[in-house]
Structure 1
Amino acid sequence: MTDPGHALITITQRPATVFVEGHGAWLIDEQGKRHVDLVQGWAVNSLGHSPALITQALLAQSQRLLNPSPAYYNRPLLDLAARLVQLSAFDRVFLASSGAEANEGAVKLARRWGSRHRNGAHEIIGFEHAFHGRTLAMMSASGKPGWDAIYTPMPGGFTKARLNDIASVERALTPRTVAVMIEFVQGEAGVVVAEPGFVRELRALTAERGVLLIADEVQTGVGRCGTAFAYEQYGIEPDVMTLAKGLGGGVPLAALLCKEAFNCFEPGDQGGTFAGNPLMAAVGLAVVDEVCRPAFLAGVRARAEQLSAGLQAIAREFDLVGERGMGLLRALVLPTDVAADVVAAAQALEPVGLLLNAPRPHLIRLMPALNISAAEMDEGLALIRQALRIVLA
């Protein structure tokens, strides 16, 4: 088969399938084959594919104002920022276009604060196997093995501790430390969940030492874990938080949030051509208003229980290691490195395919739409069984 991506710069190995249409939990390719999508753009499509809510927000805003320049206020920018403040523990918001951009902004904000209040402290402690984005600085901040050698020399000022090991954080702290940056669920590492006790100890330690706690909720925020933000489930409040992915429900939108005490950028320190443009902000407001309704979040928790129970049953049936995760960000752990084979077998199923993600050779990650129906979830679980039978036979 001819490679359909022959005009693209090579960045990844993609299957030859070309998708042309999507609705809710389903994607349809050029041959008309339907696939249950349990990836949803890597936890991006909060409301599934092509939701009417986003179509309506885009149409209405596109007919009014696209981008007046970030030098001016616009109404959707102000309304989305106010809504995020209302829903969260934070006081100030900066809107951006991607998670990496929001995380870069968080590092900039921490270093600006450190230059003023911590005698120039600038180092950020991250965690082994963490993932914060693909800019040079965020590759340095991430703990993905091998990333420190691809684009040398890499930006400095980033050190690593081990998730769920508070002693490793204490050892990494120095007078140069300005912040600790954490994902409550390390998605790219294989849906590794931070333990509640560790997070509480980390919050206490950072407060005691006078360093910021930055929560990277790019993947876990905006309902993915069953609450508006994952930090709520730990009983703590970070100083800074980043959002993206599900915030836009499929469009490029991200946010950096901070408490008033850390609102320390000077005019000109931070910005972006598309930062806070009304087209994306209008979509974000519509998505947040829908996803953060108590009844909607209760539905997320119900589907999460269904998915977890279904994966546990599959693990018992096929003698797998087990499942783990928070909310609708979950992983199925396999006994051997056959995850890529399972992903390929699932997509090749007939007459209906299944889309899965394998962030590690022995692990399948599942990130369905937050409004997936119980029947669609059952269909996805049945297709996982079919793919496992093929691969493990």
Structure 2
Amino acid sequence: MDMHQQIEKGKQFLVNTYSQVPVVFSHGEGCTLTDVEGRHYLDFVGGIAVNALGYGDRGLTKALSAVLQSGLLHCSNLYYNETAIKAAEAICSLAEMEKVFFCNSGAEANEAALKLARKFGHKSTPIRTEIITMAHSFHGRTYGAVTATGQDKYHQNFDPLPQGFRYARFNDLESVKALITGETCAIMVEPIQGEGGIVPATKEFLQGVKQLCEEHDLLLIYDEVQCGMGRSGRSFAWQLYQVKPDVLTLAKALAGGVPCGAMLVSERAKDVFSPGDHASTFGGNALAMAGVVEMAHRLSSTDLCKEVEEKGVFLRSRLEALIKKYPTQCTAVRGLGLMDGVVLSIPPRALVDACFERGLLVLSAGYDVLRFVPPLVIRVDEIEKAIDIVDEALASLL
């Protein structure tokens, strides 16, 4: 089948939950994807911040191949497996946390955190069940996670949603303080909002939220599903801010591209769950755990984070130059590390499509942001090429 026929077959059998770009990819190498007709695309989407090591990475391939060769893909969490123990030690050490629960996605990791927060609140008298999250946040598509998400567009047509969530304004400490009551058990925040438009928290905001949690005996939950695993220029964004959470959720790049999520807990939260409180059939499977071990190794034993920080500075400098050239169309640059965005006055989708036509994959965030989340191994010359394409695409839309 040619590409058009494959796309039609996909439309026939795949549930219509994505507005998919009309392309079918066959393979990738480094930071470049190739479609079934042989056309190459420079990838600044990275599977939406998943493929941190790009495509065909030797270290990751070797780690995953070893598990495939062992035959032990899955053995159930009724038993221990060696790779999961290694992964747990590696990720807890890297994140400076005490224990970890492994699952399969960011939504699952956040569901685990929400359940843990509610159980934490049930230990109080009276019981506390309310969780404060942020407007414009994004925490996943399952019922608890989508309710925690502070964006109405994700709630439409899915009523009734679970109760017990209140939404503060991001980077507005007074709005958080105003929502705390005797029923509050936790505050959940992304250190860098991703889907909400690539908006970093201020250090003062996170420090203030941490202080409120300490004063009111609340759990502080960080959702680092998108901004974790080196994306910010540190292994975890909380380390950039030096404001540590009680609970940390991860996914996306956690296993280098293999589906994997995790909820990590500090000393204060490590004993909230007991056997039977929560579970995940495929969580901690050996294949994903091998990816976690490799990612933890790359973040802790190489200069990857330093390079991300340096390349992020370069990327933002090139984006700032676009603002000067197109001040009407591009109004601001936001981001940290290799999680960056340009605020637009034109529809982001028009620019996404214009870049795609020229062989560059980018995506939007929020309502007005062009988002850049390339593999962390992106090269400087590839950044230059990408911005040249964005420049050309912007000119074509004038």
Extract unaligned runs of 5+ from structure 1: none
Contact 1:330 1:365 in 2 (8 A): yes
Say which SS state the counterpart of residue 213 (structure 1) adopts: strand
Moved over 6 A (4+): none
Q: What does residue 322 of structure 1 align with? A: 332
2:119 is aligned, of 108, 112, 137, to: 112
1:284 is aligned, of 292, 308, 311, to: 292
1:74 is aligned, of 71, 74, 81, to: 81
For 1:350-379, what per-residue CA distance to the aligned partner results, in whole angstroms no more than 9, with x for missing partners?
xxx000101234220000110111111111
The count of corresponding residues between Structure 1 and Structure 2 is 388
C-alpha deviation, 1:338, in angstroms: 2.4
For 1:269-291, what per-residue CA distance to the aligned partner results, in whole angstroms no more than 9, with x for missing partners?
11111011111101111112113
Say which SS state the counterpart of residue 63 (structure 1) adopts: helix
Structure 2 CA distance for aligned equivalents of residues 25 and 292 of structure 1: 22
Residues 118 and 281 (structure 1), Cα distance of their counterparts in 2 relative to 1, 3 Å cut: farther
Say which SS state the counterpart of residue 266 (structure 1) adopts: coil
Q: Which amino acid aligns with 2:147?
A: S
Contact 1:340 1:361 in 2 (8 A): no
Alignment of 1:200-239 (within 5 A): 200-239=207-246
Structure 1 CA distance for aligned equivalents of residues 236 and 302 of structure 2: 13
Q: What does residue 275 of structure 2 align with? A: 267
C-alpha deviation, 1:294, in angstroms: 5.1
For 1:151-203, what per-residue CA distance to the aligned partner results, in whole angstroms no more than 9, with x for missing partners?
11111111110001111111111111100000011110110111111111111
Q: What does residue 388 of structure 1 align with? A: 394
Contact 1:337 1:361 in 2 (8 A): no
Structure 1 CA distance for aligned equivalents of residues 102 and 228 of structure 2: 15
Say which SS state the counterpart of residue 273 (structure 2) adopts: coil
2:301 paired with 1:293: yes
Contact 1:28 1:34 in 2 (8 A): yes
Q: Which amino acid aligns with 1:218?
A: V
Structure 2 CA distance for aligned equivalents of residues 294 and 111 of structure 1: 38
2:343 paired with 1:375: no
Q: After the TM superposition, which of the residue ranges 100-109 and 262-271 deviates more from structure 2? A: 262-271
Residues 266 and 302 (structure 1), Cα distance of their counterparts in 2 relative to 1, 3 Å cut: same
Q: What does residue 12 of structure 1 align with? A: 18
Alignment of 1:129-148 (within 5 A): 129-148=136-155
Contact 2:54 2:377 in 1 (8 A): yes
Structure 2 CA distance for aligned equivalents of residues 108 and 266 of structure 1: 12
User: For the aligned residues, what is the CA RMSD?
Assistant: 1.3
2:362 is aligned, of 324, 343, 356, to: 356
Q: What does residue 312 of structure 1 align with? A: 320
2:253 paired with 1:246: yes
- Aligned-residue identity in percent: 36
Contact 2:109 2:249 in 1 (8 A): yes
1:343 is aligned, of 336, 339, 352, to: 352
Q: Which amino acid aligns with 2:99?
A: R
Q: Which amino acid aligns with 1:271?
A: A
